Structure 1
Amino acid sequence: MQVSHFWQRFQAFFVTIPDTLQPAFFAELARHNYSRAIVLSLGLMIIHVGLIELNFSQRYQNGVWQSVGYEQLAYLHFILEGVLALWLLLVVFFNRKTASPAVQYRWAFVFSFFMMIWCAALSSSDQKIHGQITVYIIALFGLAATQYYSLRASLVLYGMPHTALLLGIAEMQSDAQTASAHYINASVAAILAWLLSRLAYANFAREFLLRQKEKELLHELSKQAEHLAKEKQHTDRLLRELSEASWELALTNESLQRANAFKTELFEIAAHDLKNPLQAIVGFSHLIDEFDDIAKVKEMNKVIYRNAERMFGLISEFLEQANIEQQMQNLEKSLTNLSSLTEQVVSRFMHQAALKQQTITTHIEPNCFAKVDSVLIQSVLENLLSNAIKYSPEGKTITANCEKRQAKSRQQETISKKQEEKVHVPLTCIRISVQDEGQGLSEEDMKQLFGKFKRLSATPTGGENSTGLGLYLARQIIDRHGGRIWAESDGKDRGATFFIELPAAVEKVAEA
């Protein structure tokens, strides 16, 4: 146990730096020794100036030092002062901040070696005057406390000056007993100073290793913190995606519930509307068997045909409305010329209007562009024109308009692709209107105009079919496009006008 404890104490003098940390440790050690050497040299210069002024100048005036060996000692001090001054000038000239670690280490070592040799020379010269080695011992422990070197460098730094001191004592000291005492004292001091230097070096190395360990721990903590931050971001993203998915699922579920309710309601309306023509078909089919008169049979066949045709129209309209409801789930918007679209829809209904001796007139401004789902907007226009024809008496006029309108109180900023500069363009919308001279709308009609499966007070003038879904779906489609739809009427039998407003395409507004 005691041997192990002693070995641990002995190992305290030797610290091994890993190869990977050697460059960083060497740079820090060189910087430490270099800065301490500068401070020591400056301090020694100031001390020597004081010693020369207070001691040697007085002895020189008294004429004492020429006869007892002070002259040689004074020369050594003067030379030391000059060397220190030269060393400081060189340090300033080479700029210690830009010197490499290797240069700093060599300069500090040369300074330490020179100071030890010079202090050994001073103590050797002092043997003829006072017979002391105080300067050398002070230099030993001063060096051990301030300068840290590797094992090999420390052996050179402490061994060679000590050898020079021993040779100097043997040469200068005439008293053998005093010389022996100096040998022992100097050797003990050198060994103690060297051990102190090794302990200081080991402590410096341990502090360096602790700092490196702290840096590694901080780096590891930083990496872990960064990893945790990324994990948190990933978790937040997953939670956000989960929340969005839940929200989309809720919307989908709500949409499915609405679709299911719509389907149920559609089936109920279909069953109700199809019941009467089916009863007529079944009834007249039985009556045909009871009549032999060909004329009456033909008349009954016409009734059956009309009711079957009515059923076919109702079923077709129901299927079309269901298809529109499905398309509304995913709008496919594209840049559409509503002027051309309106003209196409009007031309398609010209024949239907002609069957009732009705006239369709148009006032269409060209190049009315909007970003819309053209299929759905076309279905809205078809519904409005179909209603105008359906609820207007024969010989009336229907008017379809398409124009740009500007709301000057609101502005939006866009970028002209041609000029590539910012311009302010008044917010523009496209207004489409369909005006008829039909049965008009009452106040009660206006309240439930866009409701689902709502039948108004007006009735088709030519026996056409109606499901009560057209205007409801038109409102849903226009709302999905960020537009608005409304109707105006002066009352019963005074006609009605239906309006649609859709945001104009920004690119086309900027070009205009």
Structure 2
Amino acid sequence: MKILLADDTPANIQILHRVFADQGLEIFIATSGDVALENIRRSQPDLVLLDIMMPGLSGFEVCKALKEDEATRDIPVIFISAKNETEDIVEGFDLGAVDYVVKPFRLEEVIARVTTQLRLRRVDQENQKLVEAKNVFLGMAAHDLRNPLVCIRGFSELLKDEDLDVESQIEYKELIHSVSNEMLTILNDLLDISQIESGKLKLTLKPNDLGKLVERRVHLNKNIAKKKEIQILSELESLPSVQFDFERMGQVLDNFISNAIKFSPQGTVIRVRLKQSENKARIEVVDEGPGISEDEISQLFGEFQKLSSRPTAGESSTGLGLAIVKKIVNAHGGEVGVTSEVGRGSSFYFCLPLDAPA
């Protein structure tokens, strides 16, 4: 984090600079009010230690200018001054300072006050990031839900036509059913990510057979793949039982397989492999799709991330699935990853420890 020290007394600057530099903080120095204001606006420090009686602008004038500027108003200011009258201290707080230290100062006290304000600054910055992430989350969720709702409304309006032929009625009802399933998927993903982020994800861990998990999920996805003339093959090594939540890991594998189906062209093959890799069980889903660029791979497991490649049959995606996958696997003490080559296909995998405790 960054601190600006503004004081026209070299001895004070020297002491404070040495102490806070030793704590790994980045230090900026100003010996006049005008220079302090310019440096603050340019460097955007996380905290300002500000003398009041300096050449040029006074500390009070600098603080007033900072609080009137939207770009700097949230930077915390601690006055450190020989002005010890009550009215001076009150004026400092009235101008927006978070603290006031009287000279001659006790170094331990200054360190404690600065440490407290930097800790609060970190919390404030983290909270701001959460608010921004929440706003993005709500905006994306609203967008993803709005489109299917518009479709349902449009088709239901068409169904109100008494002269509509039976074939069209069946078609519109099927479309409404399909779109409502898309909405349910979005809502389930939103609920899952919310539950995981709030720490309420509960796992039922017990010894399970990963081979059976693969066989079951491959079987469940074969009919979907068949519609696109895609073949799913399983290649299974015999492994000992592993501690995992059968339903949650089924959700992980379903995500990998369904993504492979979405992005694979007609007539290709998807391979689901189970094997041992050192002291871990590794499941990978290998497709013959378009592949993923290196730039996109680094963003894949984040929330609301969508690829530039589009599903080959127009299937929908919330952009939350892989974020949920990563959190579920991490909760098992495992890891997820992907290898890919543009134009050749991708291999999504997860690993679980073979010696996980019960």
TM-score range, shorter chain: 0.5 to 0.7
Q: 1:299 to 1:365 in 2, by over 3 A?
A: same
**Shift in Å, 1:304:** 6.1
Kindly state the Cα deviation for residue 288 of structure 1 after the two structures are TM-superposed: 6.2
Q: Distance in 2 between the 1:288 and 1:375 partners?
A: 38
Q: 1:331 to 1:278 in 2, by over 3 A?
A: closer
From 286, 292, 303, give the equivalent of 1:435.
286
2:345 aligned with 1:495: yes
Contact 1:430/1:504 (<8 A) preserved: yes
Cross-structure match for 1:272: 143
Cα deviation for residue 441 of structure 1 reads 0.5
Q: How far is the alpha carbon of 1:303 from its aligned partner? A: 4.5
| 1:399 to 1:287, Cα distance in 2 relative to 1, 3 A | closer
Closer, same or farther: CA 289–499 of 1 in aligned 2, 3 Å: closer
Q: TM-score, normalised by structure 1?
A: 0.40
Conserved? CA contact 2:239–2:275, under 8 Å: no
Report the alpha carbon displacement of residue 316 of structure 1 after superposing the two structures with TM.
3.3
Q: 2-side partners of 1:274 and 1:261: how far apart?
A: 20
Root-mean-square deviation over aligned CA pairs: 3.2
Equivalent residues of 1:488, 1:496 under 8 A apart: yes
Equivalent position to 1:344, from 216, 226, 241:
216
The letter of the residue matching 1:501 is C
Name the counterpart of 2:303.
452
Q: Determine helix, strand or coil for the equivalent of 1:501.
A: strand
Q: What is the SS of the residue equivalent to 1:455? A: coil
The match for 2:181 among 312, 322, 325 is 312
Aligned length: 229
Q: C-alpha separation between the residues in 2 aligned to 1:284 and 1:329?
A: 37
- 2:357 and 2:329 map into 1 onto residues whose CA distance is 21
Q: Secondary structure at the match of 2:341?
A: coil
Q: Could you say which residue in structure 2 is the equivalent of 1:505?
A: 355
The amino acid of 1:382's aligned partner reads D
> 1:113-141 deviations in whole A, cap 9, x for unaligned?
xxxxxxxxxxxxxxxxxxxxxxxxxxxxx
Deviations 1:259-314 (A, max 9, x none): x998876554342123223333434555566795x45x854763464145213322
The match for 2:316 is: 465
Query: Hey, what's the Cα distance between the residues in 1 that align with 2:213 and 2:159?
Result: 48
| Aligned equivalent of 1:361 | 233
Distance 2:219 2:167 in 1: 36
Amino acid at match of 1:367: L
Aligned partner of 2:271 in structure 1 is 399
CA 1:345–1:262 in structure 2 vs 1: closer, same or farther (change >3 Å)? farther
Structure number having the greater helix percentage:
1
What is the Cα deviation at residue 388 of structure 1?
Answer: 0.7
Return the alpha-carbon distance in structure 1 between the equivalents of residues 177 and 138 of structure 2: 18
State the alpha-carbon separation in 2 of the partners of residues 316 and 349 from structure 1. 16
CA contact (8 A) 2:204 2:245 kept: yes
Equivalent residue, structure 1, for 2:257: 385
Q: Does 1:326 align with 2:213?
A: no
Query: How far has the Cα of 1:392 moved from its partner?
Result: 0.8
Partner of 1:102: none
Counterpart Cα distance in 1 of 2:356 and 2:350: 18
Inter-partner Cα distance in structure 2 for 1:270 and 1:506: 36
State the Cα distance separating 1:317 from its structure 2 match. 4.1
Aligned to 2:69: none
Task: Tell me which residue corresponds to 2:246.
Answer: 374
Would the aligned equivalents of 1:397 and 1:436 in 2 still touch at CA under 8 Å? yes
Q: Deviations over 1:336-363 (max 9, x none)?
A: 2212211221111111111211111111
CA distance in 2, matches of 1:443, 1:403: 26
Q: Equivalents in 1 of 2:150, 2:338: separation in Å?
A: 37
Q: CA deviation at 1:396?
A: 0.9
Q: Greater shift after overlay, 331-340 or 341-350?
A: 331-340
| Aligned-residue offset at 1:495 | 0.9
**In 2, distance between residues paired with 1:338 and 1:324?**
24
The Cα shift of 1:498 comes to 0.6
Kept in 1: contact 2:144–2:186 (CA 8 A): no
Q: In the TM superposition, what whole-angstrom CA distance separates every residue of 1:64-89 from its partner, at most 9, and x where no partner exists?
A: xxxxxxxxxxxxxxxxxxxxxxxxxx
Counterpart contact for 2:233–2:269, Cα < 8 Å: yes
Gaps of 5+ in 1: 1-253, 407-427
Contact 2:243 2:357 in 1 (8 A): no
2: CA distance between counterparts of 1:282 and 1:462?
23
Question: Displacement of 1:320 after TM fit?
Answer: 5.1
- What secondary structure, in the 3-state scheme, does the structure 2 residue paired with 1:489 have? strand
Call closer, same or farther: CA 1:340–1:286 in 2, change over 3 Å: closer
> 1:202-351, aligned counterparts within 5 Å?
267-286=138-157, 292=163, 294-295=164-165, 298-299=167-168, 302-303=171-172, 305-319=174-188, 322-323=191-192, 326=195, 329-351=201-223
- Residue 472 of structure 1 deviates from its aligned partner by 0.6
Alignment of 1:135-150 (within 5 A): none
Q: What stretches of structure 2 of length at least 5 have no aligned partner?
A: 1-125
Tell me how far apart the structure 2 counterparts of residues 322 and 485 of structure 1 sit (CA, whole Å).
Answer: 21
Q: Is the 8 A contact 1:314 1:467 kept in 2?
A: no
TM-score by length of 2: 0.56
- Aligned counterparts of 1:323 and 1:288: Cα–Cα separation in 2: 34
CA deviation string 1:46-81 (max 9, x = no partner): xxxxxxxxxxxxxxxxxxxxxxxxxxxxxxxxxxxx
Measure the CA separation in 2 of the matches of 1:384 and 1:447: 17
Asked if 1 retains the 8 angstrom alpha-carbon contact of 2:152 and 2:179, the reply is no
